[in-house]
Amino acid sequence: MLALKKVLANNLTIYRREMRLMGNKFEISVVGNDPVWAGERINSAIAEINRVEKLLSTFSEDSEVNTINRNAGKKPVKVSAEIYKLIDRSLQISELTYGAFDITYYSADKTDDHNDTAVATYTTVNYKDVVLDATATTVFLKEKGMRIGFGANSRGYAADRAKYILQLEGVSNGVINAGGDLLTWGLQPDMEPWTVATADPRQQAQPFADMDITNMAVATSVNVEKYATITDKKLSTGKAKNGFTVSEIKSVSIISPTAEFADAMATPVMTIGVNAGIYLINQLNQIGCVIIDDHSRVYPSKGITIA
């Protein structure tokens, strides 16, 4: 059921609907003056998010992602332009973050009699072992047992796609809240820009709640564990018996024109620490971040003012 949040003299209203999609709570908000029209537009956005979930699924045997994974170490797989471009962008983010963001991982094939060989390659499996052929639109995973998955950026990509569909259908102003990650465009009914707090009232306590995020995306990663275990070259978060503090970062919020990029960058910036994270973001155009440490100190990147 649609929820009405704000009605103004110009008869524009924010129509909101909350639902569970891709294992997360999504809330889609559109600005308009017709509840039937708004409901139909939101239905279109939901359909697109469900399409993206199916496209990127590793549970469906016939999905392109699973086909790529099944042929790891065997042969290149021809894929759709959409999947190809998403993988290509993911590899570029891996390069940008020096591998802190990586869609690759290792998964032993229990039916393989040579698992020892596959295990030996575990520490070397990374984004550099993904081979793309732009002419043939093929993807090849060089190592047997290697896999790709989009858990770190699928939610943001789905939000971007839903926004695209909504704009195609005439929604000039709106917000997509994908599990706390925000994507906004246009203006509020009162013609004011969207802020973090107006896009998601539950974030009013944030020190950057009044920040203008119109036509931008904000993705936040929270450091739920303060310890890590190191396994050769792989870093995995978790509270280890003999763990040590990875960083004093409590949360990282990335501001970007696309939710996909913001979603992908939030956790890597957290893993590399405050100084390196701010330095990295400051090198990028149209990208910002706000880092909060364990003492609630706020570190904004250049161009961001916190009251």
The percent of residues in the chain predicted with pLDDT above 90, rounded, is 77
Residues 171 and 122 in one domain: no
Residues 173 and 242 in one domain: no
Residues 247 and 136 in one domain: no
pLDDT at 305: 85
How is the beta sheet containing 3-7 ordered, strand by strand? 3-7, 13-21, 24-32, 174-178, 181-185, 217-222, 249-256, 288-293, 298-300
Q: Is residue 212 part of a domain?
A: no
pLDDT at 224: 73
Q: Is residue 74 part of a domain?
A: yes
Residues 120 and 190 in one domain: no
Please check the confidence at residue 57 and state whether its pLDDT lies above 50. yes
10 - beta bridge partners? none
Domain holding 96, by residue range, is 64-148
Q: Is residue 267 part of a domain?
A: yes
pLDDT at 59: 84
Q: Is residue 209 part of a domain?
A: no
Residues 253 and 118 in one domain: no
pLDDT at 2: 63
Residues 160 and 272 in one domain: no
Q: Is residue 158 part of a domain?
A: yes
pLDDT in tens, 231-271: 333 333 333 333 444 448 999 999 999 999 999 999 999 99
pLDDT in tens, 135-156: 999 999 999 999 999 999 999 9
DSSP percent split of the chain into helix, strand, coil, nearest 5: 35, 30, 40
Average pLDDT of the residues in 100-129 = 69
Contact 141, 148 (CB under 8 A): yes
Residues 227 and 89 in one domain: no
Please check the confidence at residue 229 and state whether its pLDDT lies above 60. no
Average pLDDT of the residues in 115-138 = 77
212 token code pair = 């203008």
Residue 3 pLDDT class (50, 70, 90 cuts)? low
* Angle value at C-alpha 261, between 84 and 22, nearest 5 degrees: 75
pLDDT in tens, 4-28: 555 444 689 999 999 999 999 999 9
Residues 137 and 91 in one domain: yes
Please check the confidence at residue 291 and state whether its pLDDT lies above 60. yes
The CATH number of residue 118's host domain is 1.10.3980.10
* Number of domains forming the structure of the chain: 3
- What is the overall mean pLDDT for the chain? 87
Average pLDDT of the residues in 110-121 = 46
pLDDT in tens, 78-111: 999 999 999 999 999 999 999 999 999 998 654 4
